Amino acid sequence: MTRSDMPAAPQRLVRQIFGHLPEGIPCEMVTLRGDDGFEVRVITFGAAIQSLYVPDRDRRLADVVLGRDNLAGYVAERRFLGATIGRYANRIADGRFELDGRRYVLPANDGPNTLHGGSSGFDRKNWTVTSAGENPSPFVTLSYRSAEGEEGFPGALQASITYCISGGRELSVTFSAVSDQPTIVNLTNHSFFNLAGVEAGGGILDHRLTIAADDYLPVRADGIPLGAPTVVDGTPFDFRAPHGVGARLHDADPQIQIRDGYDHCYCLRGGTTTDARFAARVEDPGSGRTLELWTNQPGLQFYSGNFLDGGTTGKYRRVHRQYDALCLEPQTWPDAPNRPDYPSARLDPGQTYRHVLLYRFSAI
CA 287 to CA 198: how far, in whole Å? 12
Task: With H, G, I as helix, E, B as strand and everything else as coil, classify residue 266.
Answer: strand
Distance of CA 336 to the CA centre of its chain: 18
Q: What is the DSSP letter of 116?
A: T
**What's the Cα-to-Cα distance from 146 to each of 9, 117, 120, 153, 323, rounded to whole Å?**
39, 11, 11, 9, 33
One-letter amino acid identity for 13? L
For this structure, is 190 an active site residue? yes
Catalytic, out of 39, 150, 283, 329: 329
Q: Which residues contact 107 (CB under 8 A, 6 or more apart)?
A: 95, 114, 118, 119, 151, 152
Pick from 196, 188, 171, 200: which is nearest to 359 by CA?
171
Q: Do 66 and 77 meet the contact criterion of CB atoms below 8 Å apart?
A: no
CA 213 to CA 55: how far, in whole Å? 29
Task: With H, G, I as helix, E, B as strand and everything else as coil, classify residue 150.
Answer: helix
Q: Which residues contact 278 (CB under 8 A, 6 or more apart)?
A: 212, 292, 293, 294
CA 101 to CA 115: how far, in whole Å? 23
Catalytic, out of 39, 151, 190, 355: 190
**What's the Cα-to-Cα distance from 173 to each of 43, 94, 166, 191, 355, rounded to whole Å?**
14, 31, 9, 12, 8
CA 334 to CA 139: how far, in whole Å? 30
For the chain, how many helices (H) and strands (E)?
2, 27
CA 120 to CA 281: how far, in whole Å? 31
H/E stretch holding 72 reads helix 71-76
Q: Which residues are catalytic?
A: 190, 329
